[in-house]
Copies of this chain bind each other. A is one copy, B any other.
């Protein structure tokens, strides 16, 4: 929303935290709530974990390190999301979670998880629904595998737009909170491939792209991209 657009990273401030590659906990604790600054980890895979957290502000990235050393981005987490639900079942975190900008989280209690299960407002209930939501999101991503590069990107942008709309923000003009690399790893693409996809959608007049600032010019066109079958899946007589 602010017009400055610093190149190397999406966020607009906090550059002094850049190269401070962690050190796990230059975070402020305020009555259980925590502030996590950009590039800092909420926790890493294997760290002990007591309870899930509710994201209050900012954007997190959750990821795994694969056996070959590559990073698999699992998801991006924005305000309202519950993260670290594995605390329900395990003592240690399964994935690493890192802040993409200045983030704010508050702990969710699991003191008497059983007592209030039926209460739709209870933390326990919300946590279980969050676990289920995670499963749903993963199932959707599994379907994404058979999508082409452009379909993946178009689908992601439309989803992002929808989340913006639901938050009362502009649905067709927003700033992506993650770097190309992170989005590429999330969509299971090479960074270059993602970059080319942005270019193609822009050239077709569907998007305006200025680094992390995105403007959706033709939402219908994007939806058409998502629905379209891949050329190679079509019978052999059409043009395209």
Contacts and interface: CB of A to CB of B under 8 A. Distances in A.
A94 B136 contact: yes
A115 interface: yes
Interface in A110-153: 113-118, 128-129, 131-132, 134-136, 138-139, 141-143, 145-146
Contacts of A67: 227
Contact of A132 (B86, B113, B146, B229): B86
A89 B141 contact: no
Nearest to A115: B114
Interface string A68-112: 101010100000000001101110001100000000000000000
Contact of A145 (B115, B117, B145): B145
Interface residues of A, number: 37
A125 to B, nearest CB: 9
Contact of A116 (B66, B114, B128): B114
Given A64-B139, A64-B143, A132 B188 contact: no
B113 A143 contact: no
Contacts of A134: 135
Given A85-B132, A94-B136, 7 more contacts: A64-B143, A66-B146, A89-B132, A114-B114, A114-B115, A138-B139, A138-B142
